[in-house]
Amino acid sequence: MQKGKRVIYLFLILGISWLITGCWDRKELEGRAIVTLIALDKGENNDIKFSVRVVRTSDSQESGTGGSSGSERASVIMSSTGDTVFDAIRNLVLKSGRKLYYPHNTAIIFGNEIAREGILPILDVFNRDAEMHPLTWVLVTPGEAADILEAQPTLESLSAKQLDMMLNDFGATSKTVATNLLDTMKQLAYDSPGVVLSNIELDPNNPRKALLLNGAAVFQRDKLIGRLDPLETRGYLWSQGKVESGVITFPCPGEENKKVSMEIKRANRKIESDISDGQLKFTITINVESRLAEQACLTDLGNPEKLMELKKSQCEVIEKEIRSIVDKAQEKYSTDILGFGTELSRKFPQEWQNIKENWAEEFPKAEVDIVVNSKIFDIGLIKQPL
């Protein structure tokens, strides 16, 4: 008995080694190619062009010492085509040999053409596959997305890392949006089916291709219909309550040709809807706290009366920013990108069932009020310029 037990234990212990050797789907680091950026374009024969920027794991060390071209050689661009995105992803293996590894992908960039035809069919695989991460950034470019991959990093060693940092810090200016895959899908799932994604370009002023976030792109449901300039984008962010910080400039009281800069410190917004008298009415209320960051004029602004004037002009500027995006959404795009439909469906769920059907016609007719309350709480270290 005792002996029999020992034999069984021996086999069990040996059996462990049989189990811990690994799984069917083990991958060695040398066999991996880590994808950092994905670009999707429309191919020539109505198929999908799929390009990736891949980090070379095995020899990134030695190429890192190769002087200025180090960053170029640390990562390479590859592309393939296919009938569907997944087909193209797999076709890439025909060229790379290594199966690409996607969990560390930073961003998915859409070319203009493919975005106009709709991004939902393309995004499906990124939502479905367990290897893709929901916090991947989603961006649009006015040209070919593959060109963006060629951008050179300026401060970081990888352009993907730099892009990630640029998007994480979008709040410093609040002149662009940072939308990840999760946010994109959520926006599409809400009752206001308009999506706003960040717009990326190559910096025209930099001969060595550098990245530049420039405003935002507007989608009607999942189809690209237009673009917002940086200030309209901030108007959009105001309406979403997503402004983190940023600089508001306007003429100095008294000296119209000189400007003052106000730094936004805190902001929040509230949307209220009303349908009581048959007319759809929305009120956007913004509360903003800011500080005087800079003045180019020589007037003494360090007294309550002047600050009151600044406050008034600041409210006007913010209201103008929001009004510009509301007008654009209602008149030019006729698309509810501002979340009014979602707000309505939450406050008046029964009535929304009727409005839902022709929301596209109702939305442009809605009356929108904008109320801005602002507060200047700091003037910095000096009272007046001199």
Partner 1 sequence: MLENGKISTRQFTLMLFSLLLSTIMFGLPRILIEQSRQDVWQVMLITFVIDAALAIIYFILGMRYPRQTMIQYSETILGPWLGKISGLLFVLFFGYMTLIVLKTVSKFIDTVLLTGTPELAINFILLLITLYAVNAGLEVVARLSEIIAPLMIIALLIILTFSVNRVELGNLRPVFQHNVWELLKLSLLPISLYGVCITMGVFIPYHNNPKESLKAKWIAIGSGTILSIMTLMSLITIFGTSYSSQQVYPVFRLAQIIKVGDFFERIETVVIIFQIAGAFVSMVILYYSSVLGLAQIFKIQRYQTLTPYFGVIMLILSVFVFSNITEINQFTETIFPFLAIFIEVFLIIMLLIVSLIRHGIKKT
Beta-carbon count within 10 A of 138 CB? 22
Mark 288-327 with x for binding to partner 1 (rule: CB under 8 A) and - for no binding.
----------------------------------------
> Judged by CB, which is closer to partner 1: 202, or 219?
219
Q: Which stretch binds partner 1 (CB under 8 A): 206-214, 290-298, 321-329, 337-345?
A: 337-345
Extract long-range pairs of 352-359: CB within 8 Å, 24+ residues apart: 352/191, 355/275, 355/280, 356/191, 359/191
- Our CA dihedral for 32, 38, 42, 48, rounded to 10 degrees, sits at 30
24 touching partner 1, by CB under 8 A: yes
Round to the nearest angstrom and report the end-to-end CA distance of the chain: 99
Decide: helix, strand or coil at residue 277: coil
Q: Residue 109: beta bridge partners?
A: 39, 139
Going by C-beta distance under 8 Å and a sequence separation of 6 or more, which residues neighbour residue 341?
190, 191, 192, 193, 352, 356, 359, 363
Q: Using the rule CB under 8 A, which residue among 258, 266, 332, 346 binds partner 1?
A: 346
18 touching partner 1, by CB under 8 A: no
349 touching partner 1, by CB under 8 A: yes
14 touching partner 1, by CB under 8 A: no
Least separation, in Å, of the C-beta of 257 and partner 1? 44
Extract long-range pairs of 72-79: CB within 8 Å, 24+ residues apart: 72/152, 74/157, 74/158, 75/36, 75/158, 75/159, 77/51, 77/52, 77/53, 77/146, 77/149, 77/150, 78/51, 78/52, 78/54, 79/39, 79/49, 79/50, 79/51, 79/52, 79/146
- The type of residue at 311 is K
> Judged by CB, which is closer to partner 1: 178, or 248?
178
Mark 161-190 with x for binding to partner 1 (rule: CB under 8 A) and - for no binding.
---------------------x--xx--xx
Decide: helix, strand or coil at residue 2: helix
Beta-carbon count within 10 A of 50 CB? 27
Q: How far apart (Å, rounded) are the C-alpha atoms in residues 119 and 349?
A: 29
By CB under 8 A, the count of residues binding partner 1 is 22
Q: Which stretch binds partner 1 (CB under 8 A): 124-132, 259-267, 298-306, 324-332?
A: 124-132
Least separation, in Å, of the C-beta of 55 and partner 1? 17
Least separation, in Å, of the C-beta of 135 and partner 1? 6
Yes or no: say if 308 and 361 are a contact pair by the CB < 8 Å rule. Answer: no
Least separation, in Å, of the C-beta of 26 and partner 1? 8
> Judged by CB, which is closer to partner 1: 180, or 245?
180
Q: How far apart (Å, rounded) are the C-alpha atoms in residues 255 and 178?
A: 36
Least separation, in Å, of the C-beta of 18 and partner 1? 11
Q: Which stretch binds partner 1 (CB under 8 A): 77-85, 125-133, 255-263, 308-316?
A: 125-133
**What is the H or E stretch that residue 16 is in?**
helix 2-19
Q: Which stretch binds partner 1 (CB under 8 A): 34-42, 132-140, 146-154, 279-287?
A: 132-140
Yes or no: say if 327 and 235 are a contact pair by the CB < 8 Å rule. Answer: no
> Judged by CB, which is closer to partner 1: 8, or 298?
8
134 touching partner 1, by CB under 8 A: yes
Q: Which stretch binds partner 1 (CB under 8 A): 31-39, 83-91, 202-210, 342-350?
A: 342-350
Least separation, in Å, of the C-beta of 16 and partner 1? 12
347 touching partner 1, by CB under 8 A: yes
Q: Using the rule CB under 8 A, which residue among 13, 16, 20, 23 binds partner 1?
A: 23
Region of 118 please: left (phi>0), alpha (psi -120 to 50) or beta: left
Q: Which residues contribute to the site for partner 1 (CB under 8 A)?
A: 19, 23-25, 103, 127, 130-131, 133-135, 182, 185-186, 189-190, 342-343, 345-347, 349
